[in-house]
A = this chain, B = another copy of it.
Amino acid sequence: MPGNHRFLEACRRRPVDRTPVWFMRQAGRIFPEFRALRERYDFVTLMQHPDLCAEITVMPVERLGVDAAILFADIMTPLAPMGVRYRIEQGVGPVVDEPIRQRRDVERLRRFDPREELSHVLEAVRLVRRALDGRVPLIGFAGAPFTLACYLIEGRPTREFTRARALMYREPELWHALMDVLADVVLAYLRAQVEAGAQAVQLFDSWVGGLGPLDYREFVLPYSRRIFAGLADTGVPRIHFGTGTAALLPLMAEAGPDVVGVDWRVELDRAWEAIGPDLGIQGNLDPAVLLGPFERVEERALDVLRRAGGRDGHIFNLGHGVLPDTPVDHLRRLVELVHGVTERR
């Protein structure tokens, strides 16, 4: 099997033989093999084992036929070496022991060298590249400063990040100091992933849709821009993803990625208009559709493809991560469907 480069080609808005497909959260919980691993290891232990992370990363490539692998890692990973203590609470998500409340808390956060302190993640990157052996490219990723800042300030996942937004307005200098250190850490982490072999990177600003455009411009954009600019010389495609971003898309495009990932709450054609024709677009099937019958999946997937209109630069994906009860077979058939209807000879 020759190397499949359609994902990287699409990121660069070049013609491809079929629209590439991958799924956020494709690695992990949907596979019985993963659930078996989870019975033997807790999440934190799993994350410490590069061989297991690599195995989990490669699984969907073989089982689903997707056109890219994405590193199996946790969005919170770079926070631990910064000095943040957190735990994963069942049914809640990450819970930070001492949320950021004042300047002292920000001053305690450490910049660090990911080649030393996250060497297990980088080792996983190398193992994945070896296991993939050029079949499909590997995407590295990191949570964006805003989303990480929300975790740090709120202490746990919340609906509207009110405390984080309040801190922005009450203590803008503290906010900027926090975003400054997070941007440096995220940039160094992503650069290290690329050095270790990641062939594209995705910056997940999952929660940024909680902000209005004025706030995004003032409190977030400078940091996203710094990260994308700081990756420019690596030459790898840079993807910027968030949810609930219908009104933020032009600003996310301004941040300087090559591709913008959009969620299911906005029509793909309108989203592409908003980000402009110079960028690629990734998305945007509602992951909840995959919990229904395949006829519904097909109907909605075809709608996404119709809105993409066969233009170069579309990467098919979900509008957010694969949900836990998603049938593996639906995902496999979805990959086939997208490849089948977009085949160009």
Task: Tell me whether B265 and A303 are in contact (CB under 8 A).
Answer: no
* A246 contacts chain B at the CB level, 8 A cutoff: yes
Question: Which B residues are in CB contact (< 8 Å) with A176?
Answer: none
A300-B213 Cα distance, complex, nearest whole Å? 12
Question: Which B residues are in CB contact (< 8 Å) with A215?
Answer: 286
* A102 contacts chain B at the CB level, 8 A cutoff: no
Task: Tell me whether A288 and B214 are in contact (CB under 8 A).
Answer: no
Interface residues on A, range: 35 or more
Cβ contact of A247, chosen from B159, B210, B212, B270, cutoff 8 A: B270
Task: Tell me whether B166 and A267 are in contact (CB under 8 A).
Answer: no
Q: Return the chain B residue nearest A296 by Cβ.
A: B169
Task: Tell me whether A288 and B165 are in contact (CB under 8 A).
Answer: yes
* A320 contacts chain B at the CB level, 8 A cutoff: yes
Chain B proximity mask over A295-337: 1 for CB below 8 Å, otherwise 0: 0100010010000000000000001100101000000000000
* A157 contacts chain B at the CB level, 8 A cutoff: yes
* A162 contacts chain B at the CB level, 8 A cutoff: yes
Question: Which B residues are in CB contact (< 8 Å) with A291?
Answer: 162, 165-166, 169-170
Known contacts: A169-B296, A215-B286, A247-B270. The answer to whether A162 contacts B265 by CB under 8 A is no
Question: Which B residues are in CB contact (< 8 Å) with A300?
Answer: 214
Question: Which B residues are in CB contact (< 8 Å) with A266?
Answer: 212-213, 246-247
Chain B proximity mask over A160-182: 1 for CB below 8 Å, otherwise 0: 10100110111000000000000
Question: Which B residues are in CB contact (< 8 Å) with A303?
Answer: 214
- How far apart are A274's CB and chain B's nearest CB, in angstroms? 10
Chain B proximity mask over A136-177: 1 for CB below 8 Å, otherwise 0: 000000000000000000000101101001101110000000
A270-B246 Cα distance, complex, nearest whole Å? 12
Task: Tell me whether B162 and A159 are in contact (CB under 8 A).
Answer: no
* A59 contacts chain B at the CB level, 8 A cutoff: no
* A264 contacts chain B at the CB level, 8 A cutoff: yes
Known contacts: A159-B157, A162-B323, A244-B244. The answer to whether A267 contacts B213 by CB under 8 A is yes
* A230 contacts chain B at the CB level, 8 A cutoff: no
Known contacts: A162-B323, A246-B266, A266-B246. The answer to whether A212 contacts B286 by CB under 8 A is yes
Q: Return the chain B residue nearest A323 by Cβ.
A: B162
A212-B162 Cα distance, complex, nearest whole Å? 24
Q: Return the chain B residue nearest A300 by Cβ.
A: B214
Q: Which of A204-244 contact B (CB under 8 A)?
A: 209-215, 244
A-B contact pairs, 14 of them (CB 8 A): A157-B159, A162-B287, A162-B291, A165-B286, A165-B288, A166-B291, A168-B292, A169-B292, A209-B265, A212-B266, A244-B265, A246-B246, A246-B266, A247-B265
Task: For the A-B complex with A165-B286, A170-B293, A212-B266 known, give 12 more contacts whose Cβ atoms are closer than 8 Å.
Answer: A160-B320, A162-B323, A165-B288, A166-B291, A166-B292, A169-B288, A169-B289, A212-B265, A213-B267, A214-B267, A244-B244, A246-B247
Q: Sort A-B residue pairs by CB-CB distance and give the 7 closest, nearest first.
A: A169-B292, A246-B246, A165-B288, A166-B291, A246-B247, A247-B266, A212-B264
